[in-house]
Amino acid sequence: MSIDKVVYIGKRRGDVVNAPAPLAALGMARQPGATHFRRNHFPVPALDAGTWALAIGGAVAEPRVLAAADLRAFEHRTLPVVLECAGHRRDEFDPPAPGLRWGAGAASEARWTGVPLAAVLEAAGIADDGVEVVLRGADGDGYARSLPMEKALHPDTLLALFMNGEPIPPVYGGPVRAIVPGWYGMDSVKWLAAIHVARRPFDGPFQVRDYRWRVPSEPGPGSRIDRLAVQSLITSPAEGSRVPHGAARIRGAAWSGAGGIAAVAVSIDGGRFCDARLLPAPGPYARTLWEFEAVLGPGRHEIASRATDVHGEVQPQRPLPNAGGYCNNAVHRLGVTADEGKEVV
């Protein structure tokens, strides 16, 4: 399916637009940047790349302010990375969970180029008593999340300046945003304005109240959500489409925060799961595209996909219950109708 046939629908709250990626785009070898999903808590701030600056402070030997030109002087890395909203597929929870009711598509891949956060922190000199690194955006009252020191200093955690080889568009967090590969998207703070090395755990609202895993029957705030769960989506054919009966090619994408996909299996109409063919992934944080050849008789069919990652984590049959409706990585299912004379979409 060509991208010009994809309907791209966003949900607007005031000046905030939250929009999923079309599944057809997520199944492309190179997902077009303009189809990357969007999830904003506040309106996009008006920032000038020419005057943008990043303040670095807290438990560091040399607090400093960096301009974009200063960041460009550091050695750069480029990584293909899947970002996924922690509320992805929330609309599948029963009973309904609070929050933005995403369907499938609140995930996307892009090639991000930037400076390892570790290089910037090491240049500033991290104090021995620093325990976390707080990333603060320029949106709203300053959306902020903290990273444990180990993740902040991982060489793949980036301060990104480019998305798919171009300056990051403002709607996707430019001029500079964090990219935290393998973790849910809320940690990849957009419109980065400040980095603070904290001497005690950060207690901002998006840290201690939101993005927590809590079983509904258990008291307390729950635990922090971080690593992506193994996930797969069927990207073609589309939900509710009509396809020719007979031989059909089913395509999709899978990923995991654990470092890669070992297998994807497909089931037709509740039957046995059979292995799909995996295409090579360009990196441990990227999508693994897959294909499956099926035979569909006339009538309605349910197609299901189930991924297994390199550490043996398997998608569950149903969403795992939690109070926030987070991290739904259940087996993906959709319905199609097969009949003669219909073109696959």
pLDDT of 122 reads: 97
The H or E element containing residue 107 is strand 107-116
Distance CA 259, CA 309 (A): 8
Q: Give the domain-ending residue among 185, 202, 224.
A: 224
β-strand 277-278 against 288-296: which pairing, if any? antiparallel
Say yes or no: 254 and 206 in one domain. no
CATH number at residue 326: 2.60.40.650
Domain membership flag for residue 207 = yes
Say yes or no: 48 and 105 in one domain. yes
Domain membership flag for residue 216 = yes
User: Domain tally for the chain?
Assistant: 2
Say yes or no: 71 and 142 in one domain. yes
**Count of other CB atoms within 10 angstroms of residue 11:** 14
CATH number at residue 135: 3.90.420.10
Residues shown for the chain: 345
Q: Give the domain-ending residue among 176, 204, 224.
A: 224
pLDDT of 345 reads: 45
Say yes or no: 254 and 196 in one domain. no
Say yes or no: 156 and 122 in one domain. yes
Say yes or no: 193 and 300 in one domain. no
Domain membership flag for residue 242 = yes
pLDDT of 220 reads: 86
Say yes or no: 274 and 179 in one domain. no
Say yes or no: 100 and 180 in one domain. yes
pLDDT of 64 reads: 96
**Structural domain boundaries enclosing 324:** 231-338
Q: Please say whether the beta carbons of 334 and 345 come within 8 A.
A: no
The H or E element containing residue 196 is strand 192-198
Domain membership flag for residue 286 = yes
Q: pLDDT digit of tens for each residue in the chain (345 aa)?
A: 222 232 323 444 446 889 999 999 999 999 999 999 999 999 999 999 899 999 999 999 999 999 999 999 999 999 999 999 999 999 999 999 999 999 999 999 999 999 999 999 999 999 999 999 999 999 988 899 999 999 999 999 999 999 999 999 999 999 999 999 999 999 999 999 999 999 999 999 999 999 999 998 888 889 999 999 999 999 999 999 999 999 999 999 999 999 899 999 999 999 999 999 999 999 999 999 999 999 999 999 999 999 999 999 999 999 999 999 999 999 999 999 999 765 444
Q: Give the domain-ending residue among 224, 242, 260.
A: 224
Say yes or no: 162 and 110 in one domain. yes
Dihedral angle sign, alpha carbons of residues 225, 226, 227, 229? positive
Flag whether the pTM goes above 0.85. Answer: yes
pLDDT of 119 reads: 98
Say yes or no: 205 and 303 in one domain. no
| Amino acid at the residue 39 | R
Domain membership flag for residue 36 = no
pLDDT of 15 reads: 66
Say yes or no: 205 and 324 in one domain. no
Residue 285: φ, ψ to 5°: -105, 5
SS3 content of the chain, % helix, strand, coil (to 5): 10, 40, 50
Distance CA 222, CA 127 (A): 29
